[in-house]
Each structure stands twice: as C-alpha cells, then as structure tokens.
Amino acid sequence: MDDRKGCLEQVDRLVNSHVLHGSESLCKMLKYLAHHAVDHPGVSVKEYQIATEVFGRHTDFDPHLDATVRVQVGRLRTKLAEYYSTLGSEDPIVVELPKGTHALSFHRSAPRPSIKSGRENRPGSVQREYPKQQARRNLLVVVVCLSVSLVASIATIIAMAVTREAARPATPKGIEIAPAALQLFWAPFLNGPEEPWVVFSNAPFVGRSETGLRFYNPAKDSPEDILDHYTGVGEVFAVRDLDHIFGLLKRKLRVKRGSLFTLDDAKNNDLIFLGSPAENLTLREIPSTHDFIFQRVSSGPRRGDMAIFNVHPQPGETPTFLPPSSRPLTQDFSIVALVRGLNPARSTLILAGITTVGTQAASEFVCQPDSVQELLRQLGASDASEVKLFEAVLQVEVKHDVPVETKIVALRKGTP
C-alpha cells in the first residue's frame, strides 16, 4: 500500500488496543517492522536486525542458539490474528505478518457488498419508452434468461459446495484449531480418565491486607490466624492461558488451590502445578524436579533469597540461577518440567518461577506454539510417543512486572 500515514495510524490503533496492552516488546517490534515496511517496501528484514535493533542483543547474536526473535514473531502473529478476529474486524487496513517471513504486509480490508434496489438506474443508463407489445416480449425474454441463469447458478453453487465440503476438515466454521506443536506437547494430559487438575500456589499468610500481610511462621503464629485466600497475579494469568489452550484441545480443566490439594489427588490425576515450592507447598510433599531445584541461598549478601540451583551443571552453565536484587524486577528464572509423579501412569507438569512473574512466563511459554515448537526441537520430539520427561530452566526478561522475553538456558532430558 502507498498510504504511509494510514498504515502507521493502523499500527498505532493496534498498539493501543487491549490485545497488545502490556506487551511492550511486541509493540516495539510491531512499530519497528511497520516503519521498515513503509520506508523500505520490498526489502526483507533479517532476524539479526530484529534481535540487535529491537531486543538489544549483542552483535554476536546467533539465531541458531537464541530463538528470541522466532518466539516473539510467533506471538505477534497470534496477537494480530486475535485482533482482526475481534476488535479490528471493521478496520479499513489489515496488518499481517505472513508465516515464513519477518516483514509486515498492509492491505485494504475487503469492502462489504452493498445491496441496492433493482429499480435503481446504473450510472449513465438511458431510459426509453417502449410500446406495450414490445415491453411484454422483452419481459418474457428477461424472465426466460433469468430462469436459465438461476438454474445454472444453483447447479454451480451445489457443485462448489460439494467440492468444498469434501476438501474441508470436519470442523465447524469459526472453531479455532490448536496448532500441531501444542497438540503434541499436551498429549500426555488429554487421554486420562479424568480432567487434569491445575493446582495453583496458595501460601498461608497472617495479618490483614489493609495493615500488612506476611508469610505464616509456625514458630510464633497460631494456625487459627492463617489466611489462605491469596495467590500471585502470575498464577491468575497462567490459569487463564491454560484454560484457553485446553479449550482448543477440547479438554476441560479442574482448578484447585494448593492448600486444599491432597495426596489422593496426586495419585489419581494428571497434574499441572503453578508456582514454586516456596508458595505452592504441595510440591514439597510429592516427587518433584531433580536436576533443577528451588532452594534459598544459605550464605553471602543474598542469604535467604530464593534461587534455582543447578544440581549437575553442564559445561558453560551457571550453578545457580538467581535474578538481580534490584527493584523494579528486571529478570526472573522459571522451571518448566514434566516429571514422574506418585502414580507413574499419570503426568505431572511443573510451571514455577522464582517470582509470580516467572510463573506467568513459564505458562506463556508452554501455551505459545513457537516456543513449544522450540522446546520440542531441543527435546528431539517428533510425535506424541517421544515427549519424554524433562526439566528446563527459562530466563525471563521483565519490564513493568510483565514478562517480555523468555528463553531456555538449561535443559535435561529423561530422569536421573
């Protein structure tokens, strides 16, 4: 399109919509790609350019080792589709990010056909008066022609409908299909006799919200003073994301707070835990991760802070994953792990961050097709039978308490 101003105004409309609200990194990338598209039409954008100029990666950025751009491009593509299927259905300009490219495309939305009365004259037409006999003859000709056209049209429509129906998947119109990567990753949770449980962190607090809350301390607090009404904002977003994905997968979920969870639940159901053992206390009572564990720092200036410890560091890996202590939060670390539970026949997935923001990032990671595809690639999984047990550590970049970039920094396959 040649309408530069209109294209950029449409991008501003997207950035200010609730679909992209809070996604600072996606908005930044969208603006960058938009200006590149209108200022350099026909010139492709390299993954390296986006990594260094949008996400601030170093000049030694290697796309084979860092999937940031691919993950973020996939997220933006999903957000654009969501916007134009809801809020932007009437917008005059459509912004797309075609698969297999990093270049935005702009085009006018298809105008809706208007229905006009048959008595309206076409522009430039001339009306003439005919004798009655000629008018009747012309009317008869018109009726015959219309009848033939109608029969031909009906036959054509039926033939097209039969052809399309034969080629169309057996899916109702408007129903969204879960991408193949998500179907593969979540396959262990789709075939159990009962719906999977989502168990969210529900740490015990004492005090009052209006005067101050703190974690329950059994050494000095009475059990009667416990308030177990709270969870983190990351867990809330995680439940929303999981509910959406399982809706696409045609599978219901059951949600339970950690304080009400029982070992019978652990034995009989597929489980998804949200939150670290520091707040999701049930994780302390069942088999959990082995290679990457949550533990408080025992000495030094960060003594008492929660960290993820790398039990068997591989070459080039850090033994401890600990975000900076600065505020506001700029980085977090998370664990995504498919582990063996109390019942080997059931599946257990742990999505846990050092903070609630990290938990949100872990959930987003396993609900986004591009990031799941990258995880499956690193696991070497190509079909449902190959999704084996694993433990992974994610590094999460945070802005304004929102996860904006997530990548795998350590991975273990199988069980010890």
Confidence band (pLDDT; 50, 70, 90) for 28?
Answer: very high
CA nearest 305: which of 332, 325, 329?
325
Strand order in the sheet with 292-296: 292-296, 306-310, 320-321
Average confidence (pLDDT) over 276-290? 69
Average confidence (pLDDT) over 236-248? 92
CA nearest 274: which of 290, 250, 253, 301?
253
| Structure tokens, 386 | 């190959």
Report the alpha-carbon distance of residue 173 to residue 171 in Å, rounded: 6
Confidence band (pLDDT; 50, 70, 90) for 389?
Answer: very high
Q: Please state the domain extents for the chain.
A: 4-108, 180-413
Average confidence (pLDDT) over 272-287? 72
| Structure tokens, 345 | 């026949």
Average confidence (pLDDT) over 2-22? 86
DSSP SS3 for 114: coil
Strand (E) or helix (H) holding 37:
helix 24-39
CA nearest 317: which of 222, 416, 391, 237?
391
pLDDT at 196: 92
Confidence band (pLDDT; 50, 70, 90) for 156?
Answer: very low
Contact by Cβ (8 Å): 371, 406: yes
Residues shown for the chain? 416
Average confidence (pLDDT) over 367-387? 85
Confidence band (pLDDT; 50, 70, 90) for 136?
Answer: low
Average confidence (pLDDT) over 325-336? 92
Contact by Cβ (8 Å): 269, 194: yes
Confidence check: pLDDT of 125 > 50: no
- For residue 181, give the DSSP letter: H
Contact by Cβ (8 Å): 183, 245: no
Report the alpha-carbon distance of residue 173 to residue 182 in Å, rounded: 21
Average confidence (pLDDT) over 78-96? 89
pLDDT at 119: 41
Contact by Cβ (8 Å): 371, 69: no
DSSP SS3 for 294: strand
pLDDT at 384: 59
pLDDT in tens, 179-228: 888 989 999 898 888 899 999 887 778 887 777 878 777 788 787 787 77
